[in-house]
Structure 1
């Protein structure tokens, strides 16, 4: 067993030998460790950070908060939720850190985790059918099965702005906020935030309340929905726990993993008055109710999407007094089709940007030319000076955590090479050809970005566990995704995408936020329930789409 500080076991010595090695201790990795131990697999986990939590370990920026609501955003195991209560509907990053500590204490996960173990080299040996995994600090392990639970949002994206290295102030990427930073680091300072996604929205809300002056650099305004945060009482949760098991089980049978009632039919089935009444109701529920519990034809019908945008704009524009800012942040014509970029949830974002101490720079009209020692110069030639610049510029999403690791498959090819100019190829969003017995969790070509993480992760891990159980019982040495099956899976995803408006928008769903990355839909669009049906069809049909090698 490793110690919780990650200093014990297989450092510069004999490698640890296990059935399963998991990389990453977020929701997916922790659940995989829990389930595989239950099934009798010797299992160990390497985690690059110093604690459990995945994104909630790494993201400590001001205002960090989940946007899937309680009770849906948590593990379904009664032993975890029975003795845990949340303080609010959308928990903060700090509360989620405390939750993972509770998870660890309840499930005793750390006894099988090596922390501060950043994986830098992974190689497959075809003769022994094993993976050898090495970390930056000298840990190593040999395993039959490798699970990359590295998530969709680990590798930060830094745009290549000119002369960034010359800037003498504090330059921070939002996902690498300084651990020792004072909670009020931006108080009374001149601050810039570059970005308009969920992280930028959360940072802006908090920093605007503290900074002497805040400048927000935005290329495309977001369409952010009201969170409608509220406290959760201990009494309310105590009573509601009587239905938690059924409620969380029901989430697995939905497309998104949220327990909202689906709305069948089309928005055009309603009269104008009926539609307005429904939308008012969904709007007032807050969270993702307005889009997830609504008719879903806004993703396929431009007129339906425009009607939803106009309703959103009517509600949002009324919250701003500065007409110039409102015209940019809530324009008359939508900046993109409604729902084709991930909607952020906000509490007072528009009021904060409306403040006199906040400026907005339109990067399409006035792009950044270069950084200077003191700040940023845009096309208008003005040098805006800052004490702190926050790069809320997102991630190399879906694929970056895998291409960032030096994972060499049976053929000696890394994921960066394997998924080059032609883009991503997987079978079922679980496995990639050339990589026998390697399974991906919360990665590309699965429903990943369109789901509530914990619910989908439990479904996907349960599928992987059943794959491994069947391989063990049938004495299968290895399985490997077949290229024709990958091509078919990829094409089905792109065909489904072509029937929607998603492909019309440059988003990280499409890989379009990273220069040089192939533009393609990186997510399975059929939802959680249908995804599980397709994966289990392969499992039940003698691993259809996989090449099997018997022991």
Structure 2
């Protein structure tokens, strides 16, 4: 074991969380290395390079808050695309030489804890071995892509591409394309390739309650003026539900008038982005009658853009398929106009289910065989937990975390798990994750973990692990928060794990916002990291 490289911290993943951890562990004088499965930085924006892929948070909130990493950087669009996010990471690397502490093309296969020496042994798929006192899992919520079991998929003679494994170069011109899935990825791909392909067939199960993005170019001059407010934007993040500069309206709906609500809806809609979701009245998530009112407004706005009554009912049905906002809305630019094109066909697979993939295309239950040259699988991910459970992680009792979580996730504070000492994760199970702007949630959790490790170093502690009692109480709290909302109204939702066969139905994320989450974490830290067991060196 003498030739095994050893570090204070081993970080898994080189996206926002992993890079933030590395930068700040360096400032503490700790040795840290990132193991990254991909060939470059950017995390989800390395893997998700499909046509139209872009963030759903406005700049400047979707970047690091450190002035050194924004004062001389400018984006070109309000909602940056994947190429520009990659360029931003290269800018950060040029500033801080992040790359010298990163092993790319290094997918982690296992991580095993040795309680006698307080160390993790981490092994990559190609057989390299590393040791570290701390293990930081920065695998995100969407790193394990998912392909459902489609009968006959292996017989298809055309090309098949999952959105998260997109080829570097692909020309859709003259192609007959089919796409399964109308989540965020599907929406972005559909509106991007519809003008290019010869024929596009969209297979939809659940209509996406999309919101207007209001995308636009943004000049460097405008950003320079905005930079005076950047510190305020970043400080405001931890004060709002979702880590945006705007917040949910706390005023009880019963204390408002219909006119007041109508004007609020119009304002949120026109400003665009997630304001109609994360800037609405807080009762959106708990009050069925008010939720119906919100849906009715959304339905009216969408139907105004669709002339065909049949398409209106498929894309924005009179009866909501689930409460508004209990599945993550997607942002769109011209999504509904696509369906008026003569080369685009929308198939409602609730009425004509996918029967099988054939050598020449896809057959639906109504007997129609759709001829295809390329099949796009926008079928999502084993969300929230898949990036962690795909690694063979074993703690004090030697039980793999995948086995531990087979009957449901349990954590303490959505960042650590009992029997897995010195292991933390960021933007993962039972954290606020996708209920927030990514970097906002990531930076808060990362800073908390860094402060915890500094506390341990300053006070001579070798390991820290949540107690079973604290973990059970926190996990029960997350379950209670989930049960108090309308989340179960969606039959298939990755928020609840129901998009993956065999996965337990439960609220996988902390659903009541960053301030409520931070209060719990800060209270633990203020009490000497209450809920954890600390062991002296």
Determine if the alignment matches structure 1 residue 441 to structure 2 residue 422.
no
Aligned to 2:339: 353
Contact 1:69 1:89 in 2 (8 A): yes
**3-state SS, counterpart of residue 537 of structure 1:** helix
From 368, 373, 377, give the equivalent of 1:391.
377
Aligned to 1:378: 364
Aligned to 2:456: 471
From 301, 305, 317, give the equivalent of 1:315.
301
Contact 1:463 1:532 in 2 (8 A): no
Matches within 5 A, 1:249-398: 249-398=235-384
Aligned to 1:504: 489
- What is the Cα deviation at residue 489 of structure 1? 0.7
Matches within 5 A, 1:511-530: 511-530=497-516
Aligned to 2:404: 418
- What is the Cα deviation at residue 51 of structure 1? 0.8
More moved, 144-153 vs 359-368? 359-368
Aligned to 2:66: 77
- What is the Cα deviation at residue 108 of structure 1? 1.5
Contact 1:132 1:142 in 2 (8 A): yes
- What is the Cα deviation at residue 389 of structure 1? 0.5
Contact 1:89 1:229 in 2 (8 A): yes
TM-score when normalising by structure 2: 0.98
**3-state SS, counterpart of residue 34 of structure 2:** strand
Determine if the alignment matches structure 1 residue 193 to structure 2 residue 182.
no
Aligned to 1:143: 132
Determine if the alignment matches structure 1 residue 235 to structure 2 residue 224.
no
**3-state SS, counterpart of residue 375 of structure 2:** strand
Measured against aligned partners, the alpha-carbon deviations of 1:88-109 in whole angstroms (never above 9, x if no partner) come to 1111111111111111111211
From 520, 531, 534, give the equivalent of 1:534.
520
Measured against aligned partners, the alpha-carbon deviations of 1:312-367 in whole angstroms (never above 9, x if no partner) come to 11111111122211210011111110111100000000101222211111111111
**3-state SS, counterpart of residue 533 of structure 2:** strand
From 485, 488, 497, give the equivalent of 2:470.
485
Aligned to 2:34: 45
**In 2, distance between residues paired with 1:538 and 1:140?**
34
When the two chains are superposed, the root-mean-square deviation of aligned CA atoms in Å is 1.3
Measured against aligned partners, the alpha-carbon deviations of 1:192-224 in whole angstroms (never above 9, x if no partner) come to 110011000001101111110101111111100
**3-state SS, counterpart of residue 492 of structure 1:** helix
Contact 1:325 1:354 in 2 (8 A): no
Measured against aligned partners, the alpha-carbon deviations of 1:470-518 in whole angstroms (never above 9, x if no partner) come to 1111211211111121111111011111211112213100001000000
**In 2, distance between residues paired with 1:145 and 1:533?**
24
More moved, 188-197 vs 255-264? 255-264
Contact 2:240 2:247 in 1 (8 A): no
Aligned to 2:116: 127
**In 1, distance between residues paired with 2:108 and 2:466?**
24
For structure 2, the residue ranges without an aligned partner over 5 or more in a row are none
**In 2, distance between residues paired with 1:277 and 1:253?**
25
**In 1, distance between residues paired with 2:472 and 2:394?**
21
Measured against aligned partners, the alpha-carbon deviations of 1:2-55 in whole angstroms (never above 9, x if no partner) come to xxxxxxxx9xx9222100010000100000001111111111111111111000
Measured against aligned partners, the alpha-carbon deviations of 1:140-188 in whole angstroms (never above 9, x if no partner) come to 2100000000000000110111121111111110000012x23xx2221
- What is the Cα deviation at residue 536 of structure 1? 2.0
More moved, 248-257 vs 20-29? 248-257
Aligned to 2:391: 405
Aligned to 1:115: 104
For structure 1, the residue ranges without an aligned partner over 5 or more in a row are 1-9
**In 2, distance between residues paired with 1:76 and 1:44?**
22
- Aligned residue pair count: 536
Aligned to 1:174: 163
Measured against aligned partners, the alpha-carbon deviations of 1:223-261 in whole angstroms (never above 9, x if no partner) come to 000101111111111111111112111112211011014
Determine if the alignment matches structure 1 residue 160 to structure 2 residue 149.
yes
From 410, 416, 429, give the equivalent of 2:414.
429
Contact 2:241 2:247 in 1 (8 A): no
Contact 1:192 1:214 in 2 (8 A): yes
**In 1, distance between residues paired with 2:416 and 2:351?**
43
**3-state SS, counterpart of residue 88 of structure 2:** helix
Aligned to 2:536: 550
**3-state SS, counterpart of residue 508 of structure 1:** coil
* Structure 1 residue ranges (4+ consecutive) displaced by more than 4 angstroms after TM superposition: none
Contact 2:241 2:278 in 1 (8 A): no
TM-score when normalising by structure 1: 0.95
